[in-house]
């Protein structure tokens, strides 16, 4: 279950060796870098028009034993999230309704088990930034952003921003100095033994979906793991109809009914070129932000 949480947290946010460049190399302020990042991602107005967003894709696990696990991620403003992954006869779901969260795991036999989010999980979900992440409208979200320096990541110059929440949470986000898209972020998390570890999230394969830039490949790793997991997004839908009750904790365990999402036919090479209807992640994430 903790691994499922890590995939979800990466979606909302092999760690490389960073070569630090002198702070003087940065000629832009933190606010200017954020403005350029928002513009590169499609612009503030385009993101504000997005009320709901759905990703359909699959996870490639680090050990390879589980193969490719299909997932379904649904988000709705202001800060509701539902993440479902299915594979090897097991279905796991995590939901957050903006105030409280829940997690469910169902196996081949027996009733699904539903648990409430821990205090730490609720805190992270509240601070995840919703559909557009922490940088868009960061001031309204109470986040302080400062420029830490300039690094080289995989040979590319990147601005290292430090983000601080009123709660005391702090993270870093790296912005490519040429494209001004997100390259990487990090956060602190507990591993299976309760130890604090730095989780690094890498973003790649950005594609345009209805005017906004979304990373179609998200890789997660930590210093305590030999290799990382990879989330690959196969299809994106913006503003499909999603009801609030889909994010609420189920009153009793049951199989969730499917949701129909209309996705227009894309131009050649666009990511959302699959059939327009899906239900659970196991039914919908094939084929292969």
- What is the pLDDT, as a whole number, of residue 288? 26
Q: How many residues does the chain have?
A: 289
Closest CA to 236 of 184, 278, 203: 278
DSSP states along 179-190: T--EEEEEEEEE
227 to each of 8, 12, 60, how far by Cα in Å? Answer: 18, 21, 11
- Name beta bridge partners: 162: 146, 172
**Band of the pLDDT at 91, cuts 50, 70, 90?**
confident
232-270: burial string, b at 16+ Cβ within 10 Å, e else = bbbbbbbebebeeeebbbeeeeeeeeebebebeebeeee
Q: Is the dihedral of CA 71, 276, 232, 119 positive or negative?
A: negative
Percent over 90 (pLDDT), the chain? 54
- What is the pLDDT, as a whole number, of residue 66? 58
**Band of the pLDDT at 286, cuts 50, 70, 90?**
very low
Q: Which of 90-104, 135-149, 268-282 has the lowest mean pLDDT?
A: 268-282
Tell me if the pTM is above 0.85: no
CA angle 32, 148, 15 (to 5 degrees): 110
Q: What is the mean pLDDT of residues 159-181?
A: 95
DSSP states along 15-48: -PPPEEEPGGG--S-HHHHHHHHHHHTT-HHHHH
- What is the pLDDT, as a whole number, of residue 60? 87
Q: Give 120: exposed, middle or buried? Use CB within 10 Å, 0-12, 13-18, 19+.
A: exposed
Q: What is the pLDDT of residues 258-274, one digit of tens each?
A: 444 444 444 444 444 33
- What is the pLDDT, as a whole number, of residue 54? 97
**Band of the pLDDT at 106, cuts 50, 70, 90?**
confident
Q: What is the pLDDT of residues 115-157, one digit of tens each?
A: 999 988 898 899 888 899 999 999 999 999 999 999 999 899 9
Percent over 70 (pLDDT), the chain? 72
Q: What is the pLDDT of residues 219-270, one digit of tens each?
A: 988 766 656 789 999 999 999 999 999 999 987 644 554 444 444 444 444 4
- What is the pLDDT, as a whole number, of residue 61? 80
**Alpha-carbon gap, residue 6 to 54, rounded angstroms:** 18
- What is the pLDDT, as a whole number, of residue 202? 94
Q: What is the largest CA-CA distance in the chain?
A: 61
**Band of the pLDDT at 68, cuts 50, 70, 90?**
confident
| Domains, the chain, with CATH or none | 2-284 (2.50.20.10)
Q: Which two tokens stand for residue 252?
A: 């009793």
- What is the pLDDT, as a whole number, of residue 175? 98
DSSP code for 14: -
């Amino acid at each position: 279950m903790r691994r499922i949480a890590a995939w979800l947290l990466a979606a909302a946010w092999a760690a490389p060796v960073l070569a630090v460049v002198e702070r003087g190399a940065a000629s832009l302020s933190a606010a200017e870098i954020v403005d350029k990042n928002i513009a590169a991602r499609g612009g503030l107005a385009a993101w504000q028009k997005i009320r709901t967003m759905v990703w359909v894709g699959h996870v490639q696990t680090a050990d390879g034993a589980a193969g490719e696990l299909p997932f379904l991620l649904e988000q709705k403003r202001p800060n509701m999230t539902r993440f479902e992954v299915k594979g090897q006869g097991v279905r796991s779901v995590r939901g957050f309704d903006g105030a409280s969260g829940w997690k469910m795991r169902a196996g081949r036999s027996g009733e699904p088990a539903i648990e409430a989010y821990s205090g730490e999980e609720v805190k992270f979900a509240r601070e995840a930034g919703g559909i557009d992440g922490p940088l868009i409208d960061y001031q309204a979200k109470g986040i302080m952003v400062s420029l830490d320096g300039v690094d080289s990541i995989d040979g590319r110059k990147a601005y290292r921003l430090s983000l601080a929440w009123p709660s005391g949470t702090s993270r870093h986000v790296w912005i490519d100095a040429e494209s001004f898209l997100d390259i990487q972020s990090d956060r602190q998390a507990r591993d299976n033994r309760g130890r604090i570890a730095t989780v690094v999230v890498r973003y790649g394969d950005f594609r345009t979906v209805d005017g906004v830039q979304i990373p179609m490949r998200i890789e997660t790793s930590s210093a305590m793991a030999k290799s990382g997991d990879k989330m690959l997004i196969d299809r994106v839908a913006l503003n499909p109809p999603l009801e609030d009750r889909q994010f609420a904790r189920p009153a009793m365990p049951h199989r969730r009914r499917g949701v129909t999402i209309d996705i227009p036919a894309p131009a050649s090479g666009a990511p959302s070129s699959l059939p327009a209807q899906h239900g659970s992640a196991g039914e919908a994430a094939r084929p292969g932000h």
